[in-house]
Amino acid sequence: MSLKKSAAWLVLAVLFCPQAGLNAQEQAPPKGLDFPLTQYTLKNGLHVILSEDESLPLVSVVVAYGVGPIREQPGKSGLAYLMETLMFQGSENISPMQHINYIQRIGGEFNANTAFDKSFFYQTVPSNQLALVLWLESDRMGSLSVTGVNVERAKETVMAEQRQRRSAEPYLDSYFLFDEILFPDFVYGHPLLGSEEDLRNITEEDVRSFYRTYYVPNNAVLCITGSLNVPRTKELIARYFETIPRGNDVPDLPASKPVEGSPIRDTELKESLAPSPAFHFGYRINHLQRGETYGLRILDILMFRGKGSRLYKRLVKKERIALYLSGGIEERRELRAFKVFTISNNPVMSDLCRKAIASEMGKLKTTLVSDAELAKAKDFFKMDYLGRLSTSLLRALFLSDASLSGNRLEDLAAEYAKYLKVTPVTIVSLANKLFTPENAFTLNLVTK
């Protein structure tokens, strides 16, 4: 057996060499990135990431698959989200919901999450229970119980959740509609939950084919962080995962299709369930050049993140014209969008929100961000970035996501440093390039 192995400490002193224009605080290597990292790949294609952290007698295990709504076909939307439920419906040696019972009985925590192009299954347990978790995860990776009864049960669960969410979140469908406006290609723009009609039409064979194609070792990452012994952990991984057969070659991801322009820029939706008028506003972001993602992340923080962000201060705190504000930069692989959503007391306030947002976008294009404001945004970025590595579970999720995204984990510190090099000129240049009238779209929600 030949395993590709690499084990490394992130060498921050080398990666964070002094750079012109960076202050002393930005040159200092962040403590949150100085953790041990071991990576290797099993012969069946399963990529393994291990990172020790002895601060607590706990271990977090994440199994992440490179699959999400991006892999679905028209008429079969909701398959990836349906699989999230099915993964708890039993496998060869585990009865339905027994996975949950095992984790709860040992005082552990578990959850799952489906994103646009990835699915995560994770649990945190006492470190002496690592073997149990690996057995549970390997069993459903290798032998999930895909039966007609299980599929129908999962479909009913997901459809009931859809109805409950639509009842509890009156603006939910407007989010889905606006995504379809910004990302008109089905692959990139259809909702995570799928439609009830599509879910009803999904068959047992659809599910079995989807599972056999994407929930395979060569499309997965196993990440374990926390109080672990690396040699012993490798032995356990070999015991439970090496015998799972490699799947067929995973199909290439669908190519993104950047959309140039659109005849309709303003759409109106009469929403009977909405208690107050609201609107979505956004820009399609196409043709982002290599390296521009760093400036875009800092721009996102300047406009949205925290109570000190520009839009929150103006719309909510100062002028009080928005009851609710959300948004930010959303990434769907190569395609991106800048999105804003506001709820107001009445149509007049809603219109004022639109004008205020237009005003702030204009300032972003014409006036350089001050050094003080940019420094605050970078401080926010540091706390957010390092916060996602601060616990064993958050670190495992972060590393799994980065690995499936094709990022080199050894380069995390170098990537981190590039965000701190963003300048006021970077921000104003990006704003003028990306936030143009031909890329702007609005969806107005009018109460009946």
| DSSP string over 387-423 | HTTSSHHHHHHHHHHHHHTT--GGGHHHHHHHHTT--
Q: Which CATH superfamily is domain 35-241 in?
A: Metalloenzyme, LuxS/M16 peptidase-like (3.30.830.10)
Interval 360-366 mean pLDDT: 93
Q: Is the pLDDT of residue 399 over 90?
A: yes
Tokens representing 207 are 């599910």
Q: Is the pLDDT of residue 11 over 90?
A: no
Enumerate the H helices of 87-129 as residue ranges. Answer: 98-105
pLDDT tens by residue, 417-446: 999 999 999 999 999 999 998 889 999 988
pLDDT tens by residue, 276-321: 999 999 999 977 887 899 999 999 999 999 888 999 999 999 999 9
Q: Is the pLDDT of residue 8 over 80?
A: no
Q: Which H or E run includes 36?
A: strand 36-41
Interval 210-239 mean pLDDT: 97
Give domain 266-447's CATH number out of 3.30.830.10, 3.90.79.10, 1.10.1760.20, 1.10.10.2840.
3.30.830.10
Q: What pLDDT does 217 receive?
A: 98
Q: Give the separation between CA 219 and CA 45, rounded to whole angstroms.
A: 7
Q: Confidence band (pLDDT; 50, 70, 90) for 262? A: low
pLDDT tens by residue, 64-78: 999 999 999 999 999
Q: Give the separation between CA 112 and CA 64, rounded to whole angstroms.
A: 10
Residue that has been written with the tokens 């406009």 in this structure: 303
Q: Give the separation between CA 74 and CA 1, rounded to whole angstroms.
A: 41
Q: Which parts of 198-323 are beta strand (E)?
A: 220-226, 266-271, 278-285
Residue 63, classed as helix, strand or coil, is strand
Radius of gyration for the chain, computed over Cα atoms and rounded to the nearest angstrom? 23
Q: Is the pLDDT of residue 19 over 90?
A: no
Q: Confidence band (pLDDT; 50, 70, 90) for 255? A: confident
Contact 37, 10 (CB under 8 A): yes
The residue ranking higher by pLDDT, 266 or 132, is 132
Q: What pLDDT does 272 receive?
A: 65
Q: Is the pLDDT of residue 185 over 90?
A: no
Q: What pLDDT does 261 receive?
A: 58
Q: Can you give the pTM of this predicted structure?
A: 0.88
- CATH 3.30.830.10 residue spans of the chain: 35-241, 266-447
Q: What pLDDT does 7 receive?
A: 34
DSSP code for 57: S
Range with the poorest average pLDDT among 40-54, 139-153, 261-275, 293-307: 261-275
283 Rama class: left (phi>0) / alpha (psi -120 to 50) / beta:
beta
Single-letter amino acid code for the residue at 406: G
**% of the chain with per-residue pLDDT over 90:** 71
Contact 309, 376 (CB under 8 A): no
Single-letter amino acid code for the residue at 370: S
Residue 189, classed as helix, strand or coil, is helix
Q: Give the separation between CA 63 and CA 217, rounded to whole angstroms.
A: 10
Q: Other CB atoms closer than 10 Å to residue 291's CB: what's the count?
A: 10
Interval 4-29 mean pLDDT: 36
Residue 327 phi, psi (nearest 5)? 150, -170
Q: Other CB atoms closer than 10 Å to residue 232's CB: what's the count?
A: 11
Q: Other CB atoms closer than 10 Å to residue 425's CB: what's the count?
A: 11
Q: Is the pLDDT of residue 118 over 50?
A: yes
Q: Confidence band (pLDDT; 50, 70, 90) for 10? A: very low
